[in-house]
Structure 1
């Protein structure tokens, strides 16, 4: 049983539509895929309608958080998308995305980069605009070679020359909201140091004490020694460990199913969730 619990579609910053994503997941031999777009549930309906027979969809979202000035992401699985408190916070984050992206474009223009808001908006399309769309524009302009190269202090990384902060949840509040909506909370790529500053391991312990269900261990941005350390930390804290691709389509090099979650862990996530249930494919 192959299970990938972290993917993105055009509803946020992926390049596959939700329908393409589930079809590609089935083609890659996955049995379960989670759709976890940034701060939105906008891809659920399309993904569900297109879900191929033999593939199960886990609905979710990747919530933007900040702790003591450090950005982090919280994966929320199988929550009730209509629960008002969590829905309101997702909306606040989404509403902040456009003015934030416009401000980053303005900073880049001050740095003599000939980027335009119209092109960034065009790349984002109907999705929730974010830094990867700006990074894609920088690749098109030849400013950087890859999307990942744009996430440096020279450009879009936290604290970088063109970075602008956004509305982000306190992760303790995020856990409370996820649980209140019947969901399961997993800390995404917690020690992905290549992305920038990470919260200390002591903070992961505090989040676990506050109800964190698990940590994402097997991820392309974790070196093998980091994965070993995180597995030990998870065992010490009594939390689940997941693995996933963090697939963004052609925007990143990771492949669907590149890293996967143990079936027993998946079953425990489903057991804990009360807000929603996995959706079995019906041949869409």
Structure 2
């Protein structure tokens, strides 16, 4: 059984529509896929409809943008929560609404640095999705400023604290855990050891999150080398946390393939059993 619990569609910063994502996941031989767009559930309906004719199970979720009290950016994967629960819904809308002024601010900074990116370009690339840095990075690739999207995520450009970086409204991670739990969901800290993305959250903060109800750590991820995975697996065991594996698939925007890292079926069963806000969806 092959289970990928972290993917993105055009509802946020992926390049596959939700329906294409489902079809591609089935074609890749996955049995279970989670749709975890950034701070939005906008792709749920289309993804669910696309299950017809497949043997795939869909896990609904989201990747929540968080920032610790010390200012460290992190992402929280939230699974199988009730998307209509008002408190989490309102908090997600606040984060989502902050994406547009943030993107405009980064565009202004890039223009001041001589990069002729425009809001119209970025909005075209984002389409109906929740606008984010990867859309700006894609515009920079189109302009020939950088060769790949990844090359835009450096201190020279869009990385955390980079020359064109602008902060955004984000969840406090402890509040994110509380809100997701209140909506019947399950929380997993996404790529906690991804040093290339910037400063990582200290182990003592992860321990405090575990004590506050965090369910797991995403251990098997393309941004984690073998020593990092070993360390995180040991930390999870020490704290009594689940460990997951995922691709963090973004379609053509990244070179990662669906199912490149996967989750143990027993861990997935425990995630599904803990959730009370929603259930995994299969074609009828």
CA distance in 1, matches of 2:89, 2:119: 28
CA distance in 1, matches of 2:185, 2:138: 32
Provide TM-score, normalisation by structure 1. 0.99
Unaligned runs of 5+ in 1: none
Match of 1:212 among 206, 211, 214: 214
Instruction: Look up the match of 2:32.
Output: 32
Q: Tell me how far 1:281 sits from its aligned partner.
A: 2.2
CA distance in 1, matches of 2:57, 2:125: 29
Instruction: Look up the match of 1:61.
Output: 62
Residue deviations 1:45-64, cap 9 Å, x none? 00000114210000000000
Instruction: Look up the match of 1:98.
Output: 100
CA distance in 2, matches of 1:225, 1:63: 26
Matches within 5 A, 1:111-260: 111-260=113-262
Provide TM-score, normalisation by structure 2. 0.99
Instruction: Look up the match of 1:278.
Output: 280
CA distance in 1, matches of 2:29, 2:132: 30
State the SS of the aligned residue for 1:250: helix
**Which deviates further from its counterpart, 16-25 or 51-60?**
51-60
RMSD of aligned alpha carbons: 0.6
Instruction: Look up the match of 1:81.
Output: 83
Unaligned runs of 5+ in 2: none
Q: Which ranges of 4 or more aligned residues in structure 1 deviate by more than 4 Å?
A: none
CA distance in 1, matches of 2:226, 2:283: 34
Q: Conserved in 2, the CA contact under 8 Å of 1:270 and 1:278?
A: yes
Q: Tell me how far 1:202 sits from its aligned partner.
A: 1.2
